[in-house]
Structure 1
Amino acid sequence: MKSKYLLCGLITFLFFNRIQSQNDYYFPEDVNFNENIPSPAEFLGYEIGEWHTRHARLVSYMEKLAELSPNAQIQTIGYTHEKRPQIILTISSEENLQNLENIRQDHLSHANPENSPGDVEQMPVIVQLGYNVHGNEPSSSEVSMLVAYYLLAAEDAKVDDYLENGVFHIEPALNPDGRDRHTTWVNSNKGNPPVADNWDREHNESWPSGRTNHYWFDLNRDWLPLTQVESKNRVAFYHKWLPNMVTDYHEMGSSSTYFFEPTKKYGSENPIVPRYNYDTLNSIFAKYHQEALDEIGSLYFTGERYDNSYPGYGSTYPDLHGALGIVYEQASSRGHVQNTGTEDITFPFSIRNHLRTSLATIQATIDNRELLLNWQRKFFKDIRDKGLKEKKIHVYGNEKDPGLTKMFTQLLLDHQIKVYQLQDNITAGGREYKTGSAYAVPEAQPQNLMVKTVFDNVTSFADSVFYDTSAWSMALAYGISNAEVNSGRIDLGAGLSEEDIKTNVDTPAKSDYAYLVDWSQFKAASALYYLLNNEVNVKTAFTPFSIETNKGEKEFGYGTLMISVADQSLSPEKLYQLIKKASEKAGVKIASVPSGRSALGIDLGSPEFKSVELPKVVMLTGNGTSGYEAGEIWFMMDTYVGMPITKVDRSDFKRMPLNDYDVLIMVSGSYDDLDKDRIDSWVKNGGTLITQRTASEWAIKNEIVQAELKEQEKEKDSLLRMNYVKADKYYGSRAIGGSFYKADLDITHPLGFGYNDRELSIYKNSSVFMKPGKNPFNKVAVFTDDPYLSGYIHPENLEMIKNSAAILVEQKGRGNVIMFSDNPNFRAMMLETYKLFVNAIFFGQMIF
């Protein structure tokens, strides 16, 4: 039977390559192409689908098209972490390209209801064709070349109409780094003839796979948090154009068929997107996709699954901007040809399906050009008017941490949300928001839906099963103080620009005695690492105090860093230069003090100041561990701390010199084959073990610690029967897809240093529940009795969360085990809990 499938795959592959030409197989019948424009096969030297095309060759082909055709322009919108260019090939008529900037400006008038936009009858529709956001879902990047070739070389009056009435922005690879990782793998493991057996090495990438980018992030979840450079570049381009149609091409399991929208009605749709988007526009485009796949006999399904609710998807973000975003899923060959159990799926086959829906999308967009343009205009006017009627304004700010406020403000500006200065101080929600450190965001603006997305907590849902997270409040994620006020209570000042928030931190004054760093500043850890790495002796305060500084008397809280001038092997001048550099690099304020005598609390010579040592950190990675979680830690330590950490494959653990390290990080994963006795001994000898999610569960179950898990009561035998068809919904509703909960944080504990408020918002997407235990001092953070903040949660799970431990510490000999029930670095957007993790790294060895 296996031989039969392999032979079938081989015949399909050879038939494609030797008998059918590229154009005959991929494109509709009777399409003639301009011989002066090279096909992808002619340029690359192989048929599309015969090999996976490296990103550099994709770029080169697009550059060649722009060179040869007057209907194409190419631009680089930025570079990835690994310095690959992110390119956009823009295709339209010669006249449109010559008038491109005017077209862009006219189109942006849709988002400004106060202007008088031109007549849509004369306006081209704007289309953004995005491909391959997951690097190991590669067929769509090959499609991008075929689409570009078709638009530029097809000699057809229909295509001329496309170019006259549309501007097409083609992004051939949304994730160039991940794509090349996957491309290298499958090409280097390709057999000749190709192997269809799904156990073959070609179809089973090594960890972490090409799905993710350099830092192992899923870029299709990053349109909202914008943590990755690729996303920032892409969203900046998006807002430069505000397209009417955006495609989001993916692949799914090899045993499936093809999916296009609509997704599951109500349950998988974003609750604030107007119904017209889903009920009308989606239905119109679905007919075109149906006809395209029917024509070539490809199977497909719609309306059953896939999520359109999370705003960070490439197919959902456009829906919040008066556009239509559509997700497409093709069964993947995960290589060149793969057996699915019933038939062989080939790379060319998957490419052809995506090509046909791409062409159908282009046809649908042009046919419905005026409809789409009028809808976008109406969309922005309606939501702005709705905001005016609701009269809501969000105020926010963190006086203690201007760096965090700046980062949050930058996120708003990146999403083109209008932010304003406060004219006067205002008290709201029990907090005072002061001019200079707080800002206002009215809902009466074109980005009304994005304002709601960032600030609102979602607590009601049409369904109980989620493909991804069910909560996305960035205000909760950042832990930024905010409140909602009526617009009648507040006068708005000038609108903020990026220049307004690019303020430099004052240069620290030179001191002959000591310097102090308020640990509540977001980037304080970056300054600490820089100083420790340059052999500066630093201490941290275990008790608050007030003291006279060069700028008057100031209060300093738990975790404040103190650098004594006398307690150094460096000269005072050399120390001062390092202090200035640390302040400049990290963007943190560093205070100078003339005396060690405090006005209140401990003096600077108190034993309550304890020395901080530079820890050597190692993190286990590789097969069996969560690449997402490991990548988040890697990224945040690189980006926000500037501190290198060692990443070791868990298969090398046996030979790794564990005693060379002070801190061992274990993310979610499978560790049953690890030498737990070795870890236990290392901790007792002074090591700090940091675990999160299922790694914490592993530590508890393997008795590395004495903590206990809180578990659901097992269901007893029951006469209850339910229809089998309801099983997915029943069990899906009990999964914790991702939501926010309130915890009480001990801000006097070293892990709580730098927090000024005991109330903490924690993002939970795991079913790990820890009992608080008996030790009253190691319960660093405990979920409250009424913890629910935002997102879907089944009542049974909510009961499990209540009063469970979010963070526990257990002392073992001279070391500590620090356990997080959840992921404090989730998607690098959880800046509210990021400091907890940093504290664990720097202060974990100081817990007693």
Structure 2
Amino acid sequence: MLKKLLLGVLFLSTSISAQDYFFKKFHPFDSNIPSPEEFLGYGIGERHTRHDLIVNYLTKLGELSDRASIYEYGRTHEGRKLVILTVTSPQNLQNLENLKNQHLEYVDPTKNPTAYDELPSFINLGYNVHGNEPSSSEAALLTAYTLTASKNPEILRYLKDGVIFIDPTINPDGRDRHTQWANMYQGNPLVGDPQDAEHNEYWPRGRTNHYWFDLNRDWLLGIHPESRGKLTWYHQWYPNVVTDFHEMGTQSTYFFEPMKDNGSLDPIMPKENYEDLNNLFGDYFSKALDSIGSFYFTKEVFDGTYPGYGSSYPDLQGGLGLLFEQASSRGHKQTTPFGEITFPFTIRNQYLSSITTVKAAVENKGMLRKYQQDFFKSALSNASKSRIRGYTFKDDHDATRVKAFVDKLLLHKIDVYKNNNAFVVPTRQPQYRMVQTMFETYERYRDSVYYDASAWSVANFYNIKYSPVTAVNLGEKITSLDGLIVSGPVQKSNYAYILDYDDYNAVAALNHLQSKGLVVSSSFKPFLLKTSVGEKQFNYGAVIVPVSLQKKEGDAIFQIVQETQAKFKVPFYAVSSGYSVKGIDLGSRYVRPVTKPKAAMIIGNGVRSYEAGEVWHLLDTRVHMPITKIPVRNFGRADLDKYNTLVMVSGSYSFSEKVQNKIKAWVEKGNTLVTIGTATKWAIDKKLVKEKLTDAEKDSTENVNRRPYVGAPEDLGKESVGGAIFKVDLDVTHPLAFGYHDASIPVYKNNSVWLAPSKNAYATVAKYASDPHIDGFITKKNMEENLKPSASLVVSKLGGGRVILFADNPNFRGSWYGTNRLFLNALFLGDKIRIPE
């Protein structure tokens, strides 16, 4: 009996009665509206449905139903459509723009509407942000059909009192990757053996998007088109309720909120959200799932501390974000200790939760709208109680990095002003809680174990030097990015052009110059030089384009320089003499030619796909530089002599001694190996380099104190570094630090790789500061015994080459503009590093 209650019946038939397994209670249905089975040619749950078919079905519903309309809010990296089906009563749909405008008055704290119950509730049902958690997109089809075709009085009431926005697939690229896998290996009859290929995707699996990013972490960071499109839509509608449907391990049951307690000591979201509203909706979900015999749990895990989830970002916009986690069949049927879990069973739980969310939202629409209004009004009142009236920031050297940060503020509808050369973000604004998210840092926490990061002060991601102020002089409001970068046109020179290397885009510009066949050099010492626009001080790394040394004519060189400046908005200067006012001359031995990188990266089983994707995305989308991705399975026979740089991100590398020697011999020839995170530990453990890991004194087993067994996960979990921000001291004279002016920069640490400073006095590029904490949780033991004595970045000589060892990830989630330069310098300037003995 337990098996049947827990896992449901096996779905065997393609008949309409079998589809009634999902929606029998909502009969009758409009025969003019095709069911998913009628449209697809198979029953929901029999196969995994491709995203294009999902879009086509919703499009058909939008054409046939007077309750629905479809909207495209973006395209993925691979060009797949991102759509939302709006479903409500025909009367509401015809009056939607007016309803929207009335609804938006409740998120404007300067207005005071009070007709809370007169407007429908705005509900966003979001599905399948993780591509290989597929049950929810199938449930989206069932939900869309039910809401557009059912004539049941209960559904008609929901449509009258609700506007439902169905986003069927937030991550289409990942979903289709998994769909192809599951359908390709589907057996007939079905194979439930967990060891079958159907249940074990090959790397990188379908969870992530095209560049192997987790889109459920991207709501705050807004790096990818999927997230940026959704955020733009979101801030046009501000839904009252947002769902976030997921799957978890096959051995689990079903999870819905309330979540585990927020890890923040004083969460910035109102207490009414994570206590009152979550418990209110939880009662609805428990009754619905009880009615079909499904087992579930709440509160134990999945904290919403990080504000960038699909279930936490809405909480910072006056809405109620709701997380659901369904035990996954990881295919069509899988055997567990409780019996067989089937794809239809997983879909039914998600479908039931979808309809129940609509029910709870419409039955409490007045409460939800009043809560959202109070949320934005309290933003202003909370800001007024704080001594901090705003934050100011500026950077005189890197306009592109500042522009990228301003873009992030505008994406989240944060008010930004410019006063002379400084930017001002006032705290007293409707998005005050997002301002807090961007700038505030913390060192005290309620909890010590996090589902995700414990630090997310986005200003630090961008290495923005900001200051809280007690009074603000706003200046001109910034409404777009136009005009934020002003760079005068470069004049023609018959001698040389100089690219200021301080700008974030300078590396992309350097790559572009090289791709056009120009010979360029890098300055390893600063200098002051007369240019066509006056004297200019150039920092370490200034890129020099000598005219007379090129194989191209002067006009062609000038055209390439102009093209590069226009494309990347970087400062170029024309000079007519190499004789400096101060510092080195352009013919100095400290001016060295830059070798064009020929880079490769190891990918595949055992490699952390997130980090590999971050490297690929950075080079593809910002530098426009190709990198060869070599699968682990092919690496042993790969010809490494085609490359001068090899990247190894975190992973579990199990190379044979022969392959290890192959890597070592290649580096010794004069090439550059770049390791990140646990790949750095691998290089040290395999004695590829002579560097060491920090050797903290271990507790003797004789002194171990007895503890309750039940507390082990929490006790051990807090010793991990889930994600925190620390300050390092950077050697700005080192080639890896070219482009930096400030020796103190933030880095992101989400691992336990403790890299000891090199015994070579010139090889430690970045060491944690004496007082390193900026933001996030770390135990006192880790801080004192592991972090403080350690280095973040070391270069180790190996024969004629070098290994560049990153303890931390400089490219985390595509958002660490502040440390990307360290990694990019490793690719472009690594071979110029000479480590004195």
Q: TM-score, normalised by structure 2?
A: 0.97
CA contact (8 A) 1:406 1:501 kept: no
Q: Name 2:617's counterpart in structure 1.
A: 635
315-324 or 666-675, larger mean C-alpha shift: 666-675
Residue 845 in structure 1 maps to residue 827 in structure 2:
no
Kindly indicate whether the alpha-carbon contact (under 8 Å) linking 2:264 and 2:445 is maintained by their aligned counterparts in 1: no
The change in CA–CA distance for 1:815 and 1:647 in structure 2 (over 3 A counts) is same
Matches within 5 A, 1:17-28: 17=13, 21-27=17-23
How many residues align? The count is 827
Report the equivalent of 1:426. Answer: none
Q: Which residue of 1 aligns with 2:699?
A: 715
Counterpart selection for 2:353 from 357, 370, 381 = 357
Preserved contact between residue 265 and residue 445 of structure 2 (Cα < 8 Å): no
Distance 2:643 2:10 in 1: 54
Pairing 1:397–2:394 present: yes
What is residue 517 of structure 2 aligned with on the other side? 535
CA contact (8 A) 1:399 1:438 kept: no
Choose from 455, 473, 496 the match for 1:471: 455
> Which residue of structure 2 lines up, in the alignment, with residue 776 of structure 1?
761
- Change in 2 beyond 3 A, CA 1:467/1:501: farther
**Alignment deviations for residues 459-512 of structure 1 (CA, whole Å, 9 cap, x no partner):** 11110111111000111110011101012xx32112111154465643211112
- What does 1:268-307 align with in structure 2 at a 5 Å threshold? 271-307=267-303
The answer to whether the 8 Å contact 2:8/2:341 transfers is no
Mapped partners of 1:228, 1:283: distance in 2: 33
Please tell me the residue identity of whatever aligns with 1:754: G
CA distance in 2, matches of 1:74, 1:170: 9
Which secondary structure state, in structure 1, belongs to the residue aligned with residue 418 of structure 2?
Answer: strand
Partner of 1:428: none
1:235 aligned to 2:219? Answer: no
* Partner residue, 2:820: 834
User: Structure 1 residue 562 and structure 2 residue 558: aligned?
Assistant: no
Q: Deviations over 1:533-569 (max 9, x none)?
A: 1110101010001111122111110001011111211
Alpha-carbon contact 2:667-2:673 (below 8 Å) kept: yes
Following superposition, the deviation at residue 409 of structure 1 comes to: 0.4
Deviation at 1:530, TM superposition (A): 0.6
Match of 2:432 in 1: 448
Match of 1:29, SS state, is helix
Mapping of residues 292-691 of structure 1, within 5 Å: 292-390=288-386, 391-422=388-419, 436-487=420-471, 490-498=472-480, 500-501=482-483, 503=485, 505-674=487-656, 675-691=659-675
2:689 partner letter: V
Q: What's 2:87 paired with?
A: 91
Distance 1:95 1:505, change over 3 A: farther
Alignment partner of 1:249 is 2:245: yes
Alpha-carbon distance in 1 for matches of 2:722, 2:483: 35
The answer (yes or no) to whether the contact 2:26–2:146 under 8 Å persists in 1 is no
SS of the equivalent of 1:141 reads: helix
2:191 corresponds to which residue?
195
Q: How far does residue 325 in structure 1 lie from its aligned partner after superposition? A: 0.1
* Contact 2:399–2:485 (CA under 8 A) maintained in structure 1: no
Amino acid in structure 1 at the alignment position of 2:399:
P
Q: Does the CA contact (< 8 Å) of 1:707 and 1:771 recur in 2?
A: yes
Q: CA deviation at 1:297?
A: 0.3
In structure 1, stretches of 5+ residues that fail to align are 423-435
> Kindly tell me: are residues 719 and 59 of structure 1, through their superposed partners in 2, closer, same or farther at Cα, counting changes over 3 Å?
closer
Structure 2 counterpart SS, 1:177: helix
CA contact (8 A) 2:326 2:349 kept: yes
Q: Would the aligned equivalents of 2:15 and 2:43 in 1 still touch at CA under 8 Å?
A: no
Q: For 1:438 and 1:640, how far apart are their aligned partners in 2?
A: 25
* Contact kept in structure 2, 1:782 and 1:805, CA below 8 Å: yes
- Which letter maps to 2:335? N
* Inter-partner Cα distance in structure 2 for 1:403 and 1:89: 37
Match of 1:741 among 718, 726, 729: 726
CA distance in 2, matches of 1:169, 1:30: 20
Contact 2:261 2:303 in 1 (8 A): no
Amino acid at match of 1:362: V
Alignment-derived partner of residue 109 in structure 1: 105
1:375-434, Cα deviation, whole Å (9 max, x unpaired):
100110011122133252100121111111111101100000000121xxxxxxxxxxxx
Counterpart check, 1:820 vs 2:806: yes
Paired residue type of 1:388:
S
SS state at 2:13 partner: helix
**Which amino acid in structure 2 is aligned with residue 574 of structure 1?**
A
Structure 2 vs 1, CA of residues 54 and 270 (structure 1 numbering), >3 Å: closer, same or farther? farther
Please state how far the C-alpha of 1:782 moved relative to its aligned partner.
Answer: 0.6
Paired residue type of 1:530: H
Q: Is the contact between residue 726 and residue 748 of structure 2 (CA under 8 Å) also seen in structure 1?
A: yes
Contact 2:26 2:152 in 1 (8 A): no
State the TM-score, normalized to the length of structure 1: 0.96
Residues 772 and 14 of structure 1, relative CA distance in 2, 3 Å threshold: closer
| Structure 2 match to 1:429 | none
Shift in Å, 1:345: 0.4
**Pairs within 5 Å for 1:44-123:** 44-117=40-113, 119-123=115-119
Q: For residue 623 of structure 1, give the secondary structure of its aligned residue in structure 2.
A: coil
CA contact 1:269–1:307 (8 Å) conserved in 2: no
Could you list the per-position Cα deviations for residues 23-60 of structure 1 after superposition, in whole angstroms to 9, with x for gaps in the alignment? 42112536321111111111111000000000000001
CA distance 1:315–1:77, shift in 2 (3 Å): same
Deviation at 1:828, TM superposition (A): 0.8
Post-superposition CA distance 1:193-222 (Å, at most 9, x none): 110000000000010000000000000000
Deviation of 1:14 (Å): 6.2
Q: 2 CA distance for matches of 1:466 and 1:389?
A: 30
Greater alpha carbon shift after TM alignment, 156-165 vs 221-230: 156-165
Deviation at 1:79, TM superposition (A): 0.3
Q: Which moved more, 1:260-269 or 1:708-717?
A: 260-269
In 1: Cα distance, 2:481 partner to 2:685 partner: 52
Counterpart of 1:780 in structure 2: which amino acid? Answer: V
- Change in 2 beyond 3 A, CA 1:719/1:64: closer
Shifted more, 757-766 versus 508-517: the winner is 508-517
User: What amino acid sits opposite 1:473 in the alignment?
Assistant: S
What is the root-mean-square deviation of aligned Cα atoms in Å?
A: 1.7
8 Å contact kept, 1:128–1:245 = yes
Contact 1:384 1:448 in 2 (8 A): yes
Q: Which moved more, 1:281-290 or 1:152-161?
A: 152-161
Picking from 787, 795, 801, the partner of 2:787 is 801
CA deviation vs aligned residue, 1:98-149 (integer Å, no higher than 9, x gap) = 1212222222222221134362232121111000000000000000011111
Range with bigger deviation, 491-500 or 59-68: 491-500
Q: What percent identity do the matched residue pairs reach?
A: 46
Alignment partners' CA distance in 1, 2:529 and 2:11:
82
Aligned CA distance change for structure 1 residues 315 and 24 (closer, same or farther; 3 Å): same
CA 1:504 to 1:81, structure 2 compared with 1: closer, same or farther past 3 Å?
A: farther
Equivalent-residue separation in structure 1 for 2:10 and 2:750 (angstroms): 47
Measured in 1, the distance between the counterparts of 2:442 and 2:368 equals: 29
Structure 1 Cα separation of the partners of residues 12 and 249 of structure 2: 23
Q: Return the match for 1:265 from 261, 265, 270.
A: 261
